[in-house]
Amino acid sequence: MKIKRRNFVKGLGAVGALGVFAAGSASTLKAVSKGWWAGEKPVDLLAGNALPPECSVDPETGEVIANPDQYVANGLCTACTSLCGIRARVDRKTNQVLRVSGNPYHPLSTAPALDYDVRISDSFKAMSGFKGQGLEQRSVACSRGNAALDMLADPKRVLTPLKRVGSRGAGQWEPISYEQLLNEVVEGGNLFGEGQVDGLRAIRDTKTPIDPNAPELGPRSNQLAMINGFKNGRLSFAKRFGVLSFGSKNFTGHRGNCGLTMRGGYAALLGDWKKYPHLKPDYSNCEYYLSIGTAPGNAGNPFKRQAMLLAEARSTGKMKYVIVDPVQSNSNSLASGTRSEWLPITPGTDGALVMGMIRWIIENGRYNEQFLSQPNAAAAKQAGELSWSNATHLVVTDSSSPLDGTILRADALGIGSAESMVVIDQASGQPVAQDRANGPARLFYAETIKVKDQQIAVKTALQVLFDEARKQTLAEYSEACGVPVKTIVRLAQEFTSYGRRAVADTHGGTMQSNGFYTAYSIVMLNALVGNLNWKGGMSSGGGRYADVKPGPRYNMVKFPGKVGGKGVTISRQDFPYEKTSEYKRKKKTGNPYPADGPWFPLAAGLQPEFVLGGLNSYPYPLKAVMFWNTNPVYGQSGLSNQLDKLRDPKRIPLLICIDSFVSETAAECDYIVPDTSLYEYFASTTPWSGTLTKISTVGWPAVDAPQQTTPAGDPISMESFLIDVAKRMDLPGFGDKAIPDADGKLWPLNRPQDWYLRLFANIAFDGKPVPDANDEDMNLTGLDRFAPRLAEVLKPEEQRKVAYVMSHGGRFESEKESYQADGLTHKYKAPMQIYNETLAHHRNSMTGERFHGTARWIPPVFLNGDKLSDTYPAAKWPFKLVSSKSQFMNSGTISAKRLRDLKPSNELAMHADDARRLGVKSGDRLRLVTASGEAVGVVSVRDGIMPGVIGIEHGFGHWRFGADAMSFGQQKLTPDSAYSAGVAINRLGLTDSSRPGVSTLADFVLGANARNGLPARVEKV
Ligand code: SF4
């Protein structure tokens, strides 16, 4: 493809920039052009003051004429956790992002995506009106992704290191030099006139135990905790510093404040508590989509792709979907008739609905018998199945047996190995070792069986689930969730009428105190129809190319002197209480339960308990916390009412926040370190799920960051700050000899690009290496600016291949590889767990009770098992608060002005019947009261909400982040009411008095933050 460059305003007139579009929209463009009504002459008579396009394409010949004043950087959007590939148009002269749309190669932004071998210039043509391709190949950013660029130039951005003046949280800051920041953070001292504060050098002791009486807690280096945000492609760098080099076990992302209950439900179903895999539907081919606790098209993940494919399915009629949600969202459309349905439900009770469905499905034989009855992978394959489950495995259900709760092993009966489970052969009715069974086994069985001279009760896993579901009648389930019995039955009937092309999906809407079992129940529906790995069924995603994991060019996780984290995290996750010294000590003198604080042996990424553990100094005191890319003071329901604890330096002496803004969390810290913002940093990531092919998305600095730079010339950011801290402390894995290549030769890690460009090289060379980028690819995407950095860091043979990956915004397997016949190409291999033995093995550390091993209905509870409804009876607390997601705003985007213009505030959504009863109308002000807090908001009366529920969109009601007065030395920031508009639901969050110390309400199995279904009352203001 030949590209021409011309004067672009001329080019615009000559061939019609974005040719056909401009001509067809002339009158509209004229109308919107600045000054038309004021008599001002616009820049261009045809296109008005619209941005000049990046290129024009001759409608006759397809010739691409590039605009020399712009480049188009394919990269990554991190304005929400969907992590879409975007295409940022940048002005070469001003170095400003002009506009953001979707990366046409990226499956999260378009369907179908362009093939990876299409050159950049051809991607321009494919997106133009040439031969009508433009609409077909349209690739978009959502409204949030479009407007997030406003954040880059927000005058409230932190551009220099800041140190607090006066007490914590007072909002007074002094700008300090980078050198002072490094010196004080590393060396400590009497930093605030409040006494000695240990710096990172003193804290890093990887040998001495924190507590010699409890050596399992690990070394003193664990007294630094790094509390981070979502996997935005930079987390592994922070982990290299905190875990692999500094030697702290205390490193977490934000999962425990986001979708941990959903992830836990899938971890149980998929039998992997380490990697926490999860599933999403094959949206393109499923025919019945049941969504519970997520709002595709409004929020959820991947937000934009779900919305696109749902809209398409709605218009073509190839899918019916039902959204179960207390609040009606944009996911539904009346115009699509019966193809989309909103089903209101009482918050926190989805588990009752689903267990009612499960009961009906099993009672009526509507489950997939062929799938469920296969006892092992070989039998499943022989039967033509693409996955299998443990539905037929025998579970010991005898409280008198030491084996109670375990799955019976074949060696106990002398019929096989200790690794093999026992099943009842369908043909003979006899117990056989599961790995020796060569055909289907019985699905239902509840008998006693002789094990070592004792008759013990056993049941198949499916029988255990069935018996659990039968503990309540459909009428009781209906009463609990507010969904009529006939609707529960109809949903179960419908769900089981589409074969393997019915899917049940969930996400963060299960963040409630019974959230884990709710999520396990919802995802269990997929096992009952056997849809895993099938076209139109559920998928674990296509995976990613090697990047951080040892890759073909460099090993990014191995280096001389690497330490790694040891011991117990401050959140008590992934470690059973029964292995602690505290347990052993208490057991010697009597009942070891309750523990002095809750333990969460199955949890991962438990951010809320990192904060609470630090504030409670349990199981040990923290000396420093580093927050990055996260805002738990705003995002953790119930935390903001207890800020006096965070402000007490005796609890945690040193708080550092790396952030672009003075968020609610940053405002409570001792130091704020500026960070780069989206489009300004390097990153390497992959979609969470919901795509079927292999995808690695990369981000790289499309524009320069505005903040102060380090002596090496890099903007101060998480990466440059940690590199300089590490080098000052002589930590391993940083400096001149840090990253081994495939031959073992060590390469430097002195600047952010030293890490990311080598990681991109791994992506480029994984499997068959990508092609080389040519000059044209590099010029059109602005990588020509980058050529010196590529040459400085990479080997000659790597430079153009890395440039190819960067120019395309990542590496993407062809979507043609999505399927093999009726199945998915990328399959999840392990069996689905109808009964999860690991779950059943662990106990609630507050009560000593064992967790139940399969899905079940439990109403919202405190950690000690007491029902919330007993403490907060409906007579006194008649409403339930529920958090909903905005399609515009999230916790970090309030500084995007265009988003605020679209949605300036949130409202208190209330059902019309409730409003009538209370004499309230839209626009009235209402005070919400929970046991922990109050807030005043504006009512919006609507029919699209469950009666008795108040819905509040997340993302509004900030009290820091620009909403309050603040000083940076001489610079005074005045409060901006645009940032504080609306209500932050998390300020109304509850505590849990059934546990000692500082608390927020949590899921009783995993400790995930509980923010849905908060009991409340309302008062008219
Ligand atoms: S859904 Fe929107 S905000 Fe989220 S990553 Fe994609 S484009 Fe960005």
Judgement on whether residues 394 and 455 belong to the same structural domain of the protein: yes
Ligand 1 contact, 331 CB (< 6 A):
no
CA distances from 266 to 78, 506, 915 (A): 24, 10, 39
- Beta-strand (E) ranges in 686-740? 695-699, 735-740
Stretch (H or E) spanning 624 = strand 624-628
Q: What is the 3-state secondary structure (H, E, C) of 750-804?
A: CCHHHHHHHHHHHHHHCCCCCCCCCHHHHHHCCHHHHHHHHHHHCCHHHHHHHHH
pLDDT at 508: 85
Tokens of 246: 């500094």
Residues 1000/598, Cβ–Cβ less than 8 Å: no
CA pair distance 868, 80, nearest whole angstrom: 32
pLDDT at 18: 37
For ligand 1, pick from 146, 303, 902 the residue to mutate: most ligand atoms within 8 Å of CB: 303
Judgement on whether residues 442 and 535 belong to the same structural domain of the protein: no
pTM listed for this prediction: 0.95
Tokens of 738: 């840090």
Tokens of 755: 């890490």
Cα dihedral 152, 157, 160, 161 in deg (nearest 10): -120
* The residue to which tokens 């590199």 are assigned: 723
pLDDT at 635: 96
What CATH number should be reported for the domain holding residue 897? 2.40.40.20
CA pair distance 699, 678, nearest whole angstrom: 9
pLDDT at 709: 98
Residues 852/835, Cβ–Cβ less than 8 Å: no
Ligand 1 contact, 449 CB (< 6 A):
no
Ligand 1 contact, 144 CB (< 6 A):
yes
Judgement on whether residues 343 and 458 belong to the same structural domain of the protein: no
pLDDT at 589: 95
Residue 811 lies inside a defined structural domain of this protein: no
Ligand 1 contact, 141 CB (< 6 A):
yes
For ligand 1, pick from 74, 81, 82 the residue to mutate: most ligand atoms within 8 Å of CB: 82
Query: Residue 809's closest CA among 54, 77, 146, 3?
Result: 77
| Ligand 1: centre distance to CA 714 (Å) | 27
Please state the φ and ψ torsions of residue 351, each to the nearest 5 degrees.
-60, -35
Residue 339 lies inside a defined structural domain of this protein: yes
| Ligand 1: centre distance to CA 766 (Å) | 27
Last residue of a domain, one of 519, 539, 559: 539
| Ligand 1: centre distance to CA 307 (Å) | 11
Residues 707/723, Cβ–Cβ less than 8 Å: no
Judgement on whether residues 887 and 990 belong to the same structural domain of the protein: yes
Domain limits at 882? 860-1020
Show the low-confidence residues of the chain (pLDDT under 70): 1-39
Ligand 1 contact, 79 CB (< 6 A):
yes
Residue 36 lies inside a defined structural domain of this protein: no
CA pair distance 677, 896, nearest whole angstrom: 12
User: Which DSSP category does 414 fall into?
Assistant: T
**Ligand 1 atom closest to Cα of 80?**
4
Judgement on whether residues 288 and 357 belong to the same structural domain of the protein: yes
| Ligand 1: centre distance to CA 212 (Å) | 48
pLDDT at 39: 61
Our count of domains for the chain comes to 4
Closest Cα to atom 4 of ligand 1: 80
CA pair distance 38, 19, nearest whole angstrom: 28
Last residue of a domain, one of 479, 509, 539: 539
pLDDT at 41: 77
Residue 62: half-sphere exposure toward Cβ, Cα within 13 Å: 13
Q: What is the pLDDT of residues 761-811, one digit of tens each?
A: 999 999 999 999 999 999 999 999 999 999 999 999 999 999 999 999 999
Ligand 1 contact, 998 CB (< 6 A):
no
Residues 78/53, Cβ–Cβ less than 8 Å: no
Judgement on whether residues 517 and 408 belong to the same structural domain of the protein: no
Closest Cα to atom 6 of ligand 1: 84
Residue 401 lies inside a defined structural domain of this protein: yes
CA pair distance 172, 160, nearest whole angstrom: 14
Last residue of a domain, one of 432, 464, 496: 464
pLDDT at 4: 55
Judgement on whether residues 917 and 1005 belong to the same structural domain of the protein: yes
CA pair distance 150, 861, nearest whole angstrom: 42
Judgement on whether residues 953 and 995 belong to the same structural domain of the protein: yes
Q: Which residues contact 280 (CB under 8 A, 6 or more apart)?
A: 302, 505, 538, 539, 541, 688, 689, 690
Helices (H) and strands (E) in the chain, counts: 33, 41
Ligand 1 contact, 230 CB (< 6 A):
no
Residues 662/966, Cβ–Cβ less than 8 Å: yes
For ligand 1, pick from 304, 686, 898 the residue to mutate: most ligand atoms within 8 Å of CB: 304
CA pair distance 143, 813, nearest whole angstrom: 27
